[in-house]
């Protein structure tokens, strides 16, 4: 008698990609959208095809160890024994900081938490950071400076949907998170969608008003709109007096940036600056949102701070239906930086240099506070130091593909090659994993339980819906196995996600990002919990700042910021500006989406967007192969003529490997506060390629 396999159960879960965390229903590997506040029953093509990777032939299912220059299959015991022995030997010879850890903003919160604990307790290293430093660190720094706390959007996404006017600065959600665009439809339909972007993106096409500044001049533009708002009588004097400090110092700078002066610097018409100010000021409900285009600059914290200044001057943050927020990029970009995988932080968004924070977390972990290391290098600085003198000699990478995603990518690839030992945990052989000494095959999104925190600060439970292939282990199991081999008691490193989360709740209790009242039971019951949630009977905090901001005096802070321009100006040798970004079909470094046939067919290779006149001056035609050259490297890409492009600017997507890596060009100049590299602008030239 033939036994028929039981049909796979339908499981409600969330998309594995961006921070919108769209709701979906998964039956086996079949994906269907479901009704959820962020996506309202919609999915983008990445979400629709996300089940493809669950059955992909490119899936890693056995550990790989490099033997005689080639990666060869190995047993789990042999692979973990090798990793632990090499790490222990390097620590013994060179000290704990000779071993570094690099995490990712797509890891579940449980993985982020245990990764930070593993680095600081099992390895004793201060050298841990993650790719979220490349994604949202400037907005985080600006938010903490202005409001006293960082939560990307301190209000639910429903407030965006209800706003009459929405200003999007440096964000292209029509391609990066398409279901989000339905939330700005009310503003677009009522003539109140303002988009700030050097490119005429799909999002800009929806706008009432598209402000198209020269790359690197965002601060000047924000100052000009603030100047217009004050000069035209839109300043909320009562709000500024009662709820903020520092306006006089901020205005002293903005007063010198009248719109006509700003027009000469940015290329944005003075009349359009005044129109943007009037739209925001005249709305009953207005929202200002920033994205990577505002952040990924050598002065990204000040850029975001300039947009926050505008929002504060108009009385938006904390007002009903209005506010300022940041559109987080990676799936767990918010949770990923709250619970300990960032160089300067401990769980609960605590500072690692705060003695009280160290004592609290050490008590939860059962270790001496003095045994915890201090703050380590930020992401780029960590990668730049690999294998060099006193820098780390070994690197463990979880959930990141730095060969493609890091700025000055050619140099970072060389630093990886100089390491004594490289370990990568991934579920596909990314460009970084392909260079490793040991590759550990781990579970992916549908094969494990785990929480994430989306762009609103909403804590979500992503539920396991199918078993991983034989031979694959979870990241928590990998960390536990290594920790035990390094001499840690097994109980200190649980590998059950709910057990890890229960410990995380204790570690975060009383911190700025307090998850102590969040439980798996509440999430399974469908409760909508926005942190902070300080007790199990607390309903969560959908809207921050309604009564006070998180600074001790309850007031928000204006930032005295000024325009300085990009770190690398153009010159005769490099006369054009290059900016980078995403396209609809791909996500981040493309390691996942380039393995989905439908997505690869939609966007198979790199391209460079060029204005027709600029292309003609360089002898380039539509579809022609071109070289884009900066002081750090050169990229091969096909020309795509775009009549709406700025004459002085070219654009490249950053999803592609090898000679098509846009980050071969980008400038690692770092923001002094956030340590964010300047991905969004560098000086280049165009050449005809053979």
How would you list the strands of the sheet with 23-27, edge to edge?
10-14, 23-27, 30-33
Residue 399: what pLDDT?
94
The 10s digit of each residue's pLDDT in 369-396 is 999 999 999 999 999 999 887 899 999 9
Candidates 361, 434, 437, 446; CA nearest to 403 is 434
CATH 2.20.25.90 domain range(s) in the chain: 10-55
pLDDT confidence tier of residue 604, bands split at 50, 70 and 90? very high
Q: Is 522 exposed, middle or buried (0-12, 13-18, 19+ CB in 10 A)?
A: middle
Pair type for strands 438-441 and 450-453? unpaired
Contacts of 6 (CB under 8 A, 6+ apart): none
Q: Give the count of alpha carbons within 13 A of 375, CB side only.
A: 12
Q: CATH number of the domain at 576-688, out of 3.40.190.10, 3.40.50.2020, 3.40.50.2300, 2.40.40.20?
A: 2.40.40.20
Tell me the average pLDDT across 295-308.
97
Q: Is 318 exposed, middle or buried (0-12, 13-18, 19+ CB in 10 A)?
A: buried
The 10s digit of each residue's pLDDT in 53-80 is 999 999 999 999 999 999 999 999 999 9
pLDDT confidence tier of residue 602, bands split at 50, 70 and 90? very high
Whether 2 has a pLDDT exceeding 80, the answer reads: no
pLDDT confidence tier of residue 397, bands split at 50, 70 and 90? very high
Residue 388: what pLDDT?
80
- Scanning 314-464, the segments in alpha helix (DSSP H) are 333-338, 355-365, 379-385, 402-405, 409-417
Residue 496: what pLDDT?
98
- Scanning 466-519, the segments in alpha helix (DSSP H) are 475-485, 497-508
pLDDT confidence tier of residue 592, bands split at 50, 70 and 90? very high
Whether 652 has a pLDDT exceeding 60, the answer reads: yes
The 10s digit of each residue's pLDDT in 263-277 is 999 999 999 999 999
The 10s digit of each residue's pLDDT in 155-194 is 999 999 999 999 999 999 999 999 999 999 999 999 999 9
Read off φ and ψ for residue 641, nearest 5 degrees. Answer: -75, 130
- pTM, to two decimals: 0.96
The 10s digit of each residue's pLDDT in 514-549 is 999 999 999 999 999 999 999 999 999 999 999 999
Report in angstroms the alpha-carbon separations of 478 from 37, 98, 396, 443, 482: 34, 20, 12, 11, 6
Listed as own residue / partner, the contacts of 35-43 with beta carbons closer than 8 Å and 24 or more positions apart are: 37/156, 37/157, 37/158, 37/528, 38/157, 38/179, 38/180, 38/454, 38/455, 38/456, 39/179, 40/179, 40/182, 42/178, 42/179, 42/182, 43/15, 43/179
Whether 591 has a pLDDT exceeding 70, the answer reads: yes
CATH 3.40.50.740 domain range(s) in the chain: 64-133+335-530
Element (H, E) at 101: strand 99-103
Query: How much is the mean pLDDT over the chain?
Result: 96
Residue 121: what pLDDT?
98
Q: Coil, strand or helix: which one is 648?
A: coil
- The angle, 0 to 180 degrees and rounded to 10, between the axes of the packed helices 218-231 and 247-254 is 110
Positive or negative torsion for Cα 268, 274, 279, 283: positive
Token pair belonging to 471: 């031979």
Pair type for strands 682-688 and 576-581? antiparallel
Residue 8: what pLDDT?
73
Residue 149: what pLDDT?
97
307/146 Cα distance (integer angstroms): 11
The 10s digit of each residue's pLDDT in 216-249 is 999 999 999 999 999 999 999 999 999 999 999 9
Residue pair 577/684 in contact (Cβ under 8 Å)? The answer is yes
Q: How far apart are the first and last CA of the chain?
A: 64
Contacts of 399 (CB under 8 A, 6+ apart): 103, 104, 105, 106, 107, 111, 131, 425, 426, 475
Whether 1 has a pLDDT exceeding 60, the answer reads: no
500/328 Cα distance (integer angstroms): 24
CATH 3.40.228.10 domain range(s) in the chain: 137-327
Residue pair 113/504 in contact (Cβ under 8 Å)? The answer is yes
Whether 256 has a pLDDT exceeding 90, the answer reads: yes
64-133+335-530 maps to which CATH number?
3.40.50.740
The 10s digit of each residue's pLDDT in 309-348 is 999 999 999 999 999 999 988 889 899 889 999 999 999 9
The whole-angstrom distance between residue 610's C-alpha and the CA centroid of its chain comes to 27
Q: Is 579 exposed, middle or buried (0-12, 13-18, 19+ CB in 10 A)?
A: buried
Fold entry, domain 10-55:
N-terminal domain of TfIIb (2.20.25)
Positive or negative torsion for Cα 578, 402, 53, 42: negative
137-327 maps to which CATH number?
3.40.228.10
């Amino acid at each position: 008698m033939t036994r028929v396999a039981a049909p796979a159960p339908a499981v409600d879960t969330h998309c594995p990609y961006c921070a919108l965390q769209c709701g979906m229903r998964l039956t086996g590997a079949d994906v269907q959208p479901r009704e959820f506040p962020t996506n309202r029953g919609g999915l983008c093509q990445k979400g629709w095809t996300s089940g493809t990777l669950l059955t992909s032939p490119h899936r890693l299912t056995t550990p790989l160890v490099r033997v005689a220059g080639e990666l060869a299959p190995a047993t789990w015991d042999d692979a973990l024994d090798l990793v632990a022995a090499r790490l222990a030997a390097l620590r013994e010879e060179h000290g704990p900081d000779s071993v570094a850890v690099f995490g990712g903003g797509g890891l579940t919160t449980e993985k982020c938490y245990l990764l930070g604990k593993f680095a600081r307790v099992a390895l004793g290293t201060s050298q841990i950071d993650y790719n979220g430093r490349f994604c949202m660190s400037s907005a985080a720094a600006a938010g903490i400076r202005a409001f006293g706390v960082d939560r990307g959007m301190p209000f639910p996404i429903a407030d965006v949907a209800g706003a009459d006017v929405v200003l999007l600065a440096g964000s292209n959600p029509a391609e990066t998170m398409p279901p989000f665009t339905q939330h700005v439809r009310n503003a677009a339909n009522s003539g109140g969608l303002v988009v700030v972007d050097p490119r005429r993106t799909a999002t800009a096409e929806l706008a009432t008003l598209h402000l198209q500044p020269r790359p690197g001049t965002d601060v000047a533009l924000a100052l000009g709109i603030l100047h217009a708002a004050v000069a035209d009588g839109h300043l909320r004097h009562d709000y500024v007096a009662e709820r903020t400090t520092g306006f006089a110092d901020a205005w002293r700078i903005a007063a010198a940036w009248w719109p006509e002066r700003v027009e000469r610097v940015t290329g944005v018409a003075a009349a359009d600056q005044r129109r943007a100010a009037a739209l925001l000021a005249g709305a009953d409900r207005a929202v200002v949102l920033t994205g990577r285009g505002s952040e990924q600059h050598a002065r990204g914290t000040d850029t975001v701070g300039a947009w926050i200044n505008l929002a504060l001057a108009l009385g938006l943050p904390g007002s009903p239906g209005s506010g300022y927020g940041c559109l987080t990029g990676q799936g767990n970009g918010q949770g990923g930086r709250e619970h300990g995988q960032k160089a300067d932080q401990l769980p609960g968004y605590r500072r690692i240099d705060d003695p009280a924070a160290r004592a609290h977390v050490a008590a939860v972990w059962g270790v001496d506070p003095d045994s915890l290391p201090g703050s380590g290098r930020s992401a780029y600085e960590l990668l730049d130091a690999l294998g060099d003198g006193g820098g780390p000699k070994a690197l463990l990478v979880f959930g990141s593909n730095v060969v493609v995603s890091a700025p000055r990518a050619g140099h970072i690839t060389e630093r990886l090659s100089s390491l004594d030992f490289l370990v990568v945990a991934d579920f596909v052989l990314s460009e970084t994993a392909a260079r490793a000494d040991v590759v550990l095959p781990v579970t992916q999104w549908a094969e494990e339980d785990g929480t994430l925190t989306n762009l609103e600060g909403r804590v979500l439970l992503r539920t396991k819906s199918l078993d991983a292939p034989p031979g694959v282990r979870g990241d928590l199991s990998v960390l536990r196995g290594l920790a035990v081999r390094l001499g840690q008691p097994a109980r200190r490193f649980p590998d059950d996600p709910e057990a890890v989360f229960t410990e995380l709740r204790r570690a975060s209790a009383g911190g700025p990002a307090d998850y102590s009242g969040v439980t798996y039971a509440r999430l399974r019951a469908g409760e909508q919990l926005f942190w902070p949630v300080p007790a199990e009977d607390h309903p969560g905090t959908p809207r921050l700042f309604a009564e006070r901001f998180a600074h001790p005096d309850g007031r928000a802070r204006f930032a005295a910021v000024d325009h300085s321009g990009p770190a690398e100006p153009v010159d005769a040798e490099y006369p054009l500006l290059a900016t980078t970004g995403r396209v609809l079909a791909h996500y981040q470094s493309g390691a996942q989406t380039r393995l989905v046939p439908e997505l690869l067919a939609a966007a198979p290779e790199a391209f460079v967007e060029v204005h027709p006149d600029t292309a003609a001056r360089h002898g380039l035609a539509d579809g022609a192969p071109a070289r884009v050259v900066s002081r750090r490297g050169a990229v091969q890409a096909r020309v795509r003529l775009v009549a709406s492009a700025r004459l002085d600017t070219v654009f490249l997507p950053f999803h592609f490997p090898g000679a098509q890596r846009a980050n071969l060009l980008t400038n690692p100049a770092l923001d002094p506060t956030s340590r964010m590299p300047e991905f969004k602008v560098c000086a280049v030239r165009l050449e005809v390629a053979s």
